[in-house]
């Protein structure tokens, strides 16, 4: 089985490396070729275009930054959609929004392709250590087929439902992550302004009943002020926009999520977009 892989950013490069190391036959493409160097040295084949990658693939995995990037590699003369062999499976791991995913699924189906959305929870280290969590939308048979690949890149797969449902769960999860970080950054800023030491504050909040457990992993960032990028702040803002898209599509009021979205936008506007999203702490505690 030939596997295509398009999108070699922070996440994709590590996911592809795990596939390669597990012995899979991999053809890769990325907008910037340099990011493929390590994979090519490890035995992957280079494809000049999405089309070239698609032609050579039984299963094609994409993980790209936003809907427009997916649209760009899917359509057009160098696109993947018209190049995939009939019956091939396109797995999109990008975090987009459900209506977009359902549109991609429709375009794929109309061409005799199979489609699955499989966005991941986890960031840089989880990608490197094959500890990602996959939220999958698609047919059960396709999920079964893809499970060996998911198993090489992650440690858990949740089959949420039909195409679009993986992304649906993902936008909910990222809403949770983003709002938890924003609430923590605000709470910590308030506590410190009131004179509570960082140590006392973290002692009560992090690891306690009121703060999301993932914040414990970010604690060294808050303490050192070094926000080595695991998940860029500008992407979290983007993901909250995906949440807002999904909320608009379904008519759900989300005032807190939207307030968090604008707070990330303000932080990005102040120059923190390329740091880890935990830098929201610095934005408010600076």
To a second copy, the closest distance from the beta carbon of 76 in angstroms equals 11
Nearer to a second copy, 5 or 277 (CB): 277
Among candidate residues 244, 259, 265, 262, the one with its CA nearest the CA of residue 98: 244
To a second copy, the closest distance from the beta carbon of 147 in angstroms equals 18
To a second copy, the closest distance from the beta carbon of 31 in angstroms equals 20
DSSP label at 20? H
Q: Say if CB 84 and CB 111 are below 8 A apart.
A: yes
Query: For the range 188-193, what are the long-range contacts, defined as Cβ-Cβ under 8 Å and sequence gap of 24 or more?
Result: 188/222, 188/281, 188/284, 188/285, 189/281, 189/284, 189/285, 192/285
Residues interacting with a second copy, by CB under 8 A? Answer: 98, 135, 158, 160-161, 164-165, 168-169, 171-173, 175-177, 179-180, 182-184, 186-191, 193-196, 200-201, 203-205, 208-214, 238, 241, 243-244, 246-248, 250-263, 265-266, 268-270, 284
CA distance 187 to 220: 17
Residue with tokens 């892989």: 5
CA distance 68 to 103: 13
To a second copy, the closest distance from the beta carbon of 47 in angstroms equals 26
Nearer to a second copy, 150 or 184 (CB): 184
- Catalytic, 238? Answer no
Ramachandran quadrant class, 27 (left: phi over 0; alpha: psi -120 to 50; beta: rest)? beta
Helix axes 98-110, 67-74, angle to 10 degrees: 10
Q: Say if CB 243 and CB 264 are below 8 A apart.
A: no
To a second copy, the closest distance from the beta carbon of 11 in angstroms equals 17
Nearer to a second copy, 61 or 160 (CB): 160
Beta strand 45-46 with 114-117 is: unpaired
Nearer to a second copy, 141 or 209 (CB): 209
To a second copy, the closest distance from the beta carbon of 225 in angstroms equals 18
Q: Say if CB 150 and CB 18 are below 8 A apart.
A: no
Nearer to a second copy, 229 or 244 (CB): 244
User: Residues 124, 170, 218, 234: which is the catalytic one?
Assistant: 170
Residues with a catalytic annotation lie at 170
């Amino acid at each position: 089985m030939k596997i295509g892989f398009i999108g070699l950013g922070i996440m994709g490069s590590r996911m592809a490396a795990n596939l390669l190391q597990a012995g899979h036959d991999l053809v890769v493409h990325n907008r910037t070729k340099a990011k493929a160097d390590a994979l090519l040295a490890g035995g992957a084949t280079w494809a000049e275009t999405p089309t070239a990658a698609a032609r050579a693939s039984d299963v094609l995995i994409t993980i790209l930054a936003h809907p427009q990037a997916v649209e760009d590699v899917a359509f057009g003369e160098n696109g993947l959609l018209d190049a995939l062999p009939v019956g091939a499976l396109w797995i999109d791991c990008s975090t987009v929004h459900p209506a977009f995913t359902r549109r991609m699924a429709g375009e794929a189906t109309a061409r005799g392709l199979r489609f699955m959305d499989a966005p991941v929870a986890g960031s840089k280290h989880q990608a490197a250590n094959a500890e990602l969590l996959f939220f999958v939308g698609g047919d059960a048979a396709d999920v079964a087929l893809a499970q060996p690949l998911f198993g090489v890149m992650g440690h858990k797969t949740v089959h949420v439902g039909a195409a679009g449902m993986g992304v649906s769960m993902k936008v909910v999860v990222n809403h949770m992550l983003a709002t938890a970080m924003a609430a923590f950054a605000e709470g910590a800023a308030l506590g410190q302004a009131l004179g509570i030491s960082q140590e006392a504050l973290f002692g009560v909040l992090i690891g306690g009943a009121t703060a999301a457990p993932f914040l414990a992993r970010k604690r060294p960032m808050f303490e050192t002020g070094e926000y080595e990028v695991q998940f860029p702040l500008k992407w979290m803002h983007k993901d909250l926009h995906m949440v807002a898209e999904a909320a608009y599509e379904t008519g759900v009021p989300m005032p807190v999520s939207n307030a968090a979205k604008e707070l990330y936008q303000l932080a990005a506007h102040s120059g923190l977009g390329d740091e880890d999203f935990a830098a929201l702490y610095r934005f408010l505690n600076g």
